A and B are shown apart, each in its own frame.
Chain A
Amino acid sequence: MNIDAKLGLDVFKLDKEPHIVIAQEVCATVCTNRACLYVCPADLYELDDAKRMTVNWEGCLECGTCMICCEPRALTWSYPRSQFGVQYRMS
C-alpha cells in the first residue's frame, strides 16, 4: 500500500493557508542533509524542478518530526488553525 493511499484513509479538514512555511533561502543555502525528505512519515517533502523544497502540507499528520529534525530551522511550523488539519478517528 503506498503512502498516498494510506493518507487517503485519514480525515483531513483543509485550511486555505499552509501551516508549514519553508524559508527557501535558509533551506537552500544552510541545510546540508535535507532530512525532511526522508524523516517525514507521510512523505510530504519533495524537491521541485528548480530544486526548491516543497511540502504538501495538506496531508500533514502533525507529528512535528520535520520541525524537530530541521537543523537550520528553515521551517515555520505551527499546528493548523482551530478546526483544521487531521482528525483521527481511532489512533
Chain B
Amino acid sequence: MEKVECIVVGGGLAGLSAAYGLAGAGAEVMVLERGDYAGAKNVTGGRLYVSPIRGFYPELWEEAPFERPVARELITMMGDGAHTTFELASDHLVAGPPQSYTVVRARLDQWLAEKVGEKGGMVVPGMKVDELLRKDGRIVGIRAGEDEIGADVVVVAEGVLRLLAEPAGLAARPDEKDHALGYKEVIELPAGVIEDRWNLNPGEGAAQLFLGTVTDGMMGGGFLYTNKESISLGVVVGMHAMKADGREIESHQLLERFKELPQIKPLVAGGTVAEYSAHAIPEGGIAKVPRLYGDGYVLAGDAAGLSLNALVTVRGMDFAIASGYHAAQAMLRAKAAGDFSAAGLASYEAALRDSFVLKDLETARAYPQFMEVPRLFRQYPTAVSRLFEDVFTVGPGPTPPLVKKAWRGVKRDFLRPSTLQDAWLARKL
C-alpha cells in the first residue's frame, strides 16, 4: 500500500486550510477531492468572517478572491404584507481590514487549492474516497475505488454528511433535529445595480437576513449576500421543522414565493438566475460536536459539526479554516514527537478549546434550544412589522398619540405569558 504522511479527505476550506499549513511546514500531504475541482461540491450562503482567522496564514487574506467586504448589515422582520428592516451601516465593518466578505466557493476554494500546490501540497480532484481504513482500532488510510493509500494521519474534512466518519465510528449519523437545509439561487446583476439597490460604495457589499413569513413560520430564514456581479438569495429551513410542520410544504417553493413578494421583487428585478444549489447545514451546536481526534485521525470543519447559527451572525467557514489550521499544527507536533496516536493528536482539540472556535460554540450553547421557540419565526417578526405599521399609519380620522399607538402594539403582541417565557429562555443567549 502506497503511504504518505497525511491524507486530507475533502478539498473544502477545512481540508485545504489543513493542507496549506502542513505543506508550508514541509510535511507530505495529499488532498483528495471528489469534485472536478476544489469548490465544485461546496455551497455557502455566503459570507466569511475573516476577522477571527486573520492571524492564521495572514499572507493569504490580502490576496484572496473575495467578492465584497460587507459594509451594510440588514435584518428584515417579515409579517404578512409588511416588512421592517433594521440596517447597520458602520465604518467599523470595513475600516481597517474588513471583518467579513461575501464569497463564491468555486472561486475561493480553487484559489486556496492553488496556494496549497504552491507550498508543495498535492491536491487531487475527481477522486472520491469510499472508506476510511481501520486497523487495530486506528485509522491507517483510505480506500478510493480500487486504490488504498496509507497515512500517518487522516484529516477527515468530508463535510456535513459524514458518509465516511459515521461507518468508521468516528461521529454520529446526522440527525434531522440538528440539521437545516440551505439552498439558494445565484442571480446575476451588474455591479452598479447592486451598489444602487443596497446603497453601497463601489466594491462594498451588503448582507441581509430575513425572519418570518419567508419560511412560513418554520425554523429558519432567508438570506441575501451581494457578490461582485451577482447576489446569492436563499432560504435556510430546519429539517425537523419541515417535517414537524405537517403541512408538507415543498421546500423549494419557499424561495419562489419569497421572490414574488412585493417587498422582495424589486431587489431581484432584471436579474438572471445563473445557478441553483443546496446543502445540509449542521446546527446542533457544541452539544453535538463529537470527539475531534483519535488514533490516526482528526475531524475538521462541517464533518466536526463546527458551525454556529446565532440568528444575526451565521458562521461556519471561519470555523472550518481555524480547525484546519489547528489540525495542521497538531499534526506537526505529532510528527515531531513521532506519535500519531490519540495522545499525540490531543493537542488539536485542546487548541480548539483555547480558540474562538469552541469558545464561541460554548457561548452559544443555548441557541439550538432557543431556535425551537416557534414564535421566533412567525409571531415576533410579524409583531415587529405590525408595530411599525401602526406607528407609521395616518388614517382618515384622528390619529392617536404616537406613544399610545406604540404601547397598544406592545400590549397586543408582546405583553403575554409566552413572551415572558421566551425572554426567560433568551437570557442565556
Check: B44 CB closer than 8 A to any chain A CB: yes
Bound complex: CA A15 to CA B304 (Å): 30
On whether the beta carbons of A41 and B251 are closer than 8 Å, the reply is yes
On whether the beta carbons of A35 and B243 are closer than 8 Å, the reply is yes
Contacts of B222-267 to chain A: CB distance below 8 A: 230, 239, 242-243, 248-252, 256
Neighbouring A residues of B293 by C-beta, 8 Å: none
On whether the beta carbons of B179 and A68 are closer than 8 Å, the reply is yes
Bound complex: CA A46 to CA B329 (Å): 48
Min CB–CB distance A50 → chain B (angstroms) = 21
In the complex, the chain A residue whose C-beta lies closest to that of B256 is A1
Check: B176 CB closer than 8 A to any chain A CB: yes
Bound complex: CA A75 to CA B226 (Å): 37
| Nearest 8 Cβ contacts at the A-B interface | A6-B276, A63-B278, A91-B277, A41-B278, A61-B278, A41-B183, A82-B128, A64-B161
Neighbouring A residues of B41 by C-beta, 8 Å: 62, 79, 85-88
Min CB–CB distance A36 → chain B (angstroms) = 10
Bound complex: CA A81 to CA B37 (Å): 14
What is A's interface to B at a CB cutoff of 8 Å? 1, 3, 6-7, 9-10, 13, 33, 35, 37-43, 61-65, 67-69, 77-83, 85-91
Check: B35 CB closer than 8 A to any chain A CB: yes
Interface-centre pick from A3, A41, A61, A91 (highest chain B CB count, 10 A): A91
On whether the beta carbons of B252 and A67 are closer than 8 Å, the reply is no
On whether the beta carbons of A81 and B183 are closer than 8 Å, the reply is no
Check: B144 CB closer than 8 A to any chain A CB: yes
- Given A35-B243, A82-B145: A91 in contact with B104 (beta carbons within 8 A): yes
Check: B43 CB closer than 8 A to any chain A CB: yes
Bound complex: CA A26 to CA B54 (Å): 50
On whether the beta carbons of A64 and B275 are closer than 8 Å, the reply is no
Interface string of B41-56 (1 = CB under 8 A from A): 1111000000000000
Interface string of B142-177 (1 = CB under 8 A from A): 001100000000000000110100000000001110
Neighbouring A residues of B277 by C-beta, 8 Å: 10, 61, 86, 88, 90-91
Neighbouring B residues of A67 by C-beta, 8 Å: 161
Neighbouring A residues of B174 by C-beta, 8 Å: 64, 68
Bound complex: CA A42 to CA B273 (Å): 15
On whether the beta carbons of A87 and B40 are closer than 8 Å, the reply is yes
Check: B127 CB closer than 8 A to any chain A CB: yes
Check: B352 CB closer than 8 A to any chain A CB: no
Residue from B163, B181, B185, B275 within 8 A of A89 (CB atoms): B275
Neighbouring A residues of B75 by C-beta, 8 Å: none
On whether the beta carbons of B105 and A88 are closer than 8 Å, the reply is yes
Contacts of B91-134 to chain A: CB distance below 8 A: 104-107, 126-128
Check: B34 CB closer than 8 A to any chain A CB: yes
Q: 6 A-B pairs, CB-CB below 8 angstroms? A: A40-B252, A43-B250, A68-B174, A68-B175, A88-B40, A90-B277
Neighbouring A residues of B230 by C-beta, 8 Å: 90
- Given A41-B181, A68-B175, A69-B176: A90 in contact with B280 (beta carbons within 8 A): no
New A-B pairs, 7, CB < 8 Å, besides A9-B274, A39-B181, A88-B105: A1-B256, A9-B275, A41-B181, A41-B251, A43-B250, A63-B181, A78-B163
On whether the beta carbons of B144 and A42 are closer than 8 Å, the reply is no
